[in-house]
Amino acid sequence: MLLIDKKVWTKGVAHLKKNDKVMARIIRKIGSVEFKIEDGPLETVSTFVPSEFLP
């Protein structure tokens, strides 16, 4: 199971909306997020992970 699978992403969002009041409010406020992968899995992860650690 990979997070880059659209079904997994959709289930994850549904789970957060149902089980986490704060995340549900944030998701409602932001609105729908389009699931789109432009690169392969390695490229996607390699650009996402460093951005999480940089201030």
Show the tokens assigned to 31. 């609105």
Does position 25 have pLDDT exceeding 90, yes or no?
A: yes
Q: Is the pTM for the entire model greater than 0.85?
A: no
Phi and psi, residue 51, nearest 5° = -65, -25
Show the tokens assigned to 54. 């940089």
In angstroms, the Cα distances linking 22 to 12, 14, 48, 52 are 15, 13, 23, 20
Report whether 45 contacts 37 (CB < 8 A). Answer: no
Phi and psi, residue 36, nearest 5° = -145, 130
More confident residue, 22 or 50: 22
Range from 3-12, 13-22, 30-39 carrying the lowest mean pLDDT: 30-39
